[in-house]
Chain A
Amino acid sequence: MTLLYTQEQKEYIHLAQEFGDRYLTPEIIKKYDLKGDCPSSLFEPAIKIGLHMLEIPREYGGAGLSYEDSALVFEKLAEYDAGYALTLITSFVALRCVMLAGTEEQAQRFADVIRPGRFAAFTMSEADAGSDAGSVKARAVRQGNEYILNGNKAFATNGGIADIFIGIFRTSNNGNHGLSAFMIDKNTPGIWVGKHEDKMGLRLSNTVPLGFKNVHVPAENLIGQEGRGINIALNSLNLSRAYVSTLTVGVMQRALNEAAKYANQREQFNQPISQFESVQNMLANMATAVETARLLVNNTMKMMDKDLSVRQEGAMTKLYVTDVAQKVTSDAVQILGGYGYTRAYPVEKLMRDVKGFQILEGTNEIQRMTIAREVSKKYQD
């Protein structure tokens, strides 16, 4: 591997590997991927060793790792299952979001919920508002010292298992700038959790529609100010985008591991298939894609650790990494041939999982829009 790991990083990655080997065995992952579900008991050992708040500072009860180091840990975890890793990330990214945009008191309150092992979810998308966040219809109306929330949300990651949400609701009518962010306790009356989506991949990640009917939320739960919702959402997306990229690298690495190992063992025409040029080409391209993707993620994480804006770099990373992952995982299935096409071998799942990453956390089309805008700005007179 060309990434020059520090000693500490090797130790963190080793611990992640021990965790994965012990608790995320292929049999367990296969079982839950087939079922399309993940029991909360499977997350208990992860919570016990601090994976649910890996990047959060010590003062809030986290392990305090840097973005760079935590990304390497989650890359390793994603080799076992990206959906499982995504669940943990979604939670602490939501907390980070409150820490960046909310008050100290709000951050502590949020951390208090997550620290003992409960989950958080972030909900903005609606049936008619995916990439077009400005079309969000769910409303929050101020009444005295409360807001009343009404509306339906779609595709909330962790929605069905979370105890606390960050929800984006419309407080006024001016498109993107009329949205506000709220901390919402799941037990507030009026919230219903819909049926878990039967997704193509990332099946261990919980994704549900949510409904809000006259949900009363105290005014202290407004994060930042009214109208700042879209900025808060974008900040959250900056973080989760980078983490999604690192998860994708982990899945690609797994795909490469499986394909390369198989190619050395499988014999046809009296030799291992790794001797054939067509297979060698695929392996070479896969390995190169993994290396470049990892280096790009690492650099973006380093920028985040330095508090530099990653609006363009984050988008470029997510775009590049998730796009190359499609060919890498598809080639892995190709190399494993007929066997790779069956559930008996782990590679078809990898292909299904990475497709999701081209879509969630901002579709790759939106990423291109963001990047183009930033590029144009630089060249304006």
Chain B
Amino acid sequence: MKIALIAKAEADNPKTYTSHKNKVTYHPENLFLSEEDKSALEFALQLTELKKGTIDVFTFEQNEAAERILHEALAMGATTATKVSAGNINDPLLQNQIASEFVHYLKENNENYDLILTGKTTSSAFPAAIATGLGISFYDYVSMIDTSLNYEMKLEKGKITGQCVLPAVIATLDSINVPRLASFTSLSTAINSSINNVSFKTSDEGVTSEIVAKPVKNEKAIFNLDQDPKATQKLVEILKQNGMLR
């Protein structure tokens, strides 16, 4: 069984971007493989333990975070690791283009994956775009999945259940399993293994999005009705301004 995993850095770390006087600084030095991708990889490992197979991990992250993520994936048990240099995968304006170049790369290299897994760190069009490009099924927000491919898609008040039809792209939440820990021996081996490097030409004429500092909002305001008869109006004003009432 041929499985691919698209691995990403965790999206939750508040220190990834810091801002000081409107200047934003990027800190990739503490980014590691996301919990959701670890669960996805754990699922892939369970599948390959049951029916023979390989797991190829790809990451589109850039700089040092990419190697760390690939080392972690290899240490957990992935077969090969590839770093793809293709522009910023987190930019919604570039995601469709990067996805189509990745699909082109897979087709050129005759990589017919039965399953492409990815962890749902945040919502983006990237996995859906890969499924569309390859013409295969797409399963999203999968909160439970077993080795027979019975799955559950989590919605607000319930879940959709069914069975995955392969080949497919499956985006999973971290609730699907508790991933295994790598051993220090396998991490040491992974650190010394080679990583493949692939790069796609990114169109320079495309528009990209900008990273800006979040404006510091005064998020707390308590009024006094006895001292200020207009307190309620002021409350409504500030709620409308800050988006609580709009």
Residue numbers of A with Cβ under 8 A of B are: 7-8, 10-12, 14-15, 18-19, 22, 45, 48-51, 54, 58, 62-65, 73
Q: Which residues of B contact A73 (CB under 8 A)?
A: 184
Quick one: which of B177-232 are within 8 Å of A by CB? Answer: 181-185, 187-188, 191
Indicate if the CB atoms of A63 and B185 lie closer than 8 Å: yes
Indicate if the CB atoms of A63 and B181 lie closer than 8 Å: no
A7-B68, A10-B68, A11-B71 given; A54·B191 CB < 8 A: no
Quick one: which of B93-135 are within 8 Å of A by CB? Answer: none
Question: Measured between C-beta atoms, what is the minimum distance from A55 to chain B in Å?
Answer: 10
Contact of A58 among B29, B72, B183, B185 (CB under 8 A): B185
Question: Measured between C-beta atoms, what is the minimum distance from A13 to chain B in Å?
Answer: 11
What would 12 more interface pairs be, CB under 8 Å, given A15-B187, A45-B181, A63-B184? Answer: A7-B64, A7-B67, A8-B191, A11-B71, A15-B182, A15-B184, A18-B181, A49-B182, A49-B183, A50-B183, A51-B184, A65-B188
Judge if B151 is at the interface, Cβ distance under 8 Å: no
Give the 10 A-B CB pairs with smallest separation, nearest first: A63-B184, A50-B184, A49-B183, A63-B185, A50-B183, A50-B185, A8-B191, A49-B181, A14-B32, A63-B188
Indicate if the CB atoms of A63 and B183 lie closer than 8 Å: yes
Residue of A nearest to B35 (CB): A18
Indicate if the CB atoms of A65 and B64 lie closer than 8 Å: no
Q: Which residues of B contact A64 (CB under 8 A)?
A: 185, 188
A8-B191, A64-B188, A65-B188 given; A15·B181 CB < 8 A: yes
A64-B188, A65-B188 given; A11·B72 CB < 8 A: yes
Indicate if the CB atoms of A11 and B68 lie closer than 8 Å: yes
A7-B67, A8-B191, A11-B68 given; A65·B32 CB < 8 A: no
Main secondary structure of the interface of B (DSSP, over half): helix
Residue of A nearest to B192 (CB): A8
Residue numbers of B with Cβ under 8 A of A are: 29, 32, 64, 67-68, 71-72, 75, 181-185, 187-188, 191
A7-B64, A8-B191, A14-B32 given; A22·B181 CB < 8 A: yes
C-alpha gap A241/B183 in the complex (Å) = 26
Question: Measured between C-beta atoms, what is the minimum distance from B183 to chain A in Å?
Answer: 4
Can you list 29 contacts pairing A with B, beta carbon distance less than 8 Å? Answer: A7-B64, A7-B68, A10-B29, A10-B68, A11-B71, A11-B191, A12-B187, A15-B182, A15-B184, A18-B181, A19-B181, A48-B181, A49-B181, A49-B183, A49-B184, A50-B183, A50-B184, A51-B184, A54-B184, A58-B185, A62-B185, A63-B183, A63-B184, A63-B188, A64-B185, A64-B188, A65-B184, A65-B188, A73-B184
Q: Which residues of B contact A15 (CB under 8 A)?
A: 75, 181-182, 184, 187
Indicate if the CB atoms of B184 and A12 lie closer than 8 Å: yes
Q: Which residues of A contact B32 (CB under 8 A)?
A: 14
Indicate if the CB atoms of A48 and B183 lie closer than 8 Å: yes
C-alpha gap A48/B183 in the complex (Å) = 7
Question: Measured between C-beta atoms, what is the minimum distance from B33 to chain A in Å?
Answer: 9
Q: Which residues of A contact B182 (CB under 8 A)?
A: 15, 49
Q: Which residues of B contact A62 (CB under 8 A)?
A: 185
Question: Measured between C-beta atoms, what is the minimum distance from B140 to chain A in Å?
Answer: 27
Q: Which residues of B contact A22 (CB under 8 A)?
A: 181
Question: Measured between C-beta atoms, what is the minimum distance from A301 to chain B in Å?
Answer: 16
Q: Which residues of B contact A12 (CB under 8 A)?
A: 184, 187
Q: Which residues of B contact A58 (CB under 8 A)?
A: 185
Question: Measured between C-beta atoms, what is the minimum distance from B106 to chain A in Å?
Answer: 29
C-alpha gap A170/B150 in the complex (Å) = 68
Residue of A nearest to B72 (CB): A11
Interface centre among B32, B184, B188, B191 (most CB of A within 10 A): B184
Q: Which residues of B contact A10 (CB under 8 A)?
A: 29, 68
Question: Measured between C-beta atoms, what is the minimum distance from B96 to chain A in Å?
Answer: 32
Question: Measured between C-beta atoms, what is the minimum distance from B175 to chain A in Å?
Answer: 16
C-alpha gap A332/B78 in the complex (Å) = 43
Residue of B nearest to A51 (CB): B184
Residue of A nearest to B185 (CB): A63
Q: Which residues of B contact A50 (CB under 8 A)?
A: 183-185
C-alpha gap A11/B64 in the complex (Å) = 11
Residue of B nearest to A18 (CB): B181
Contact of A11 among B181, B183, B187 (CB under 8 A): B187
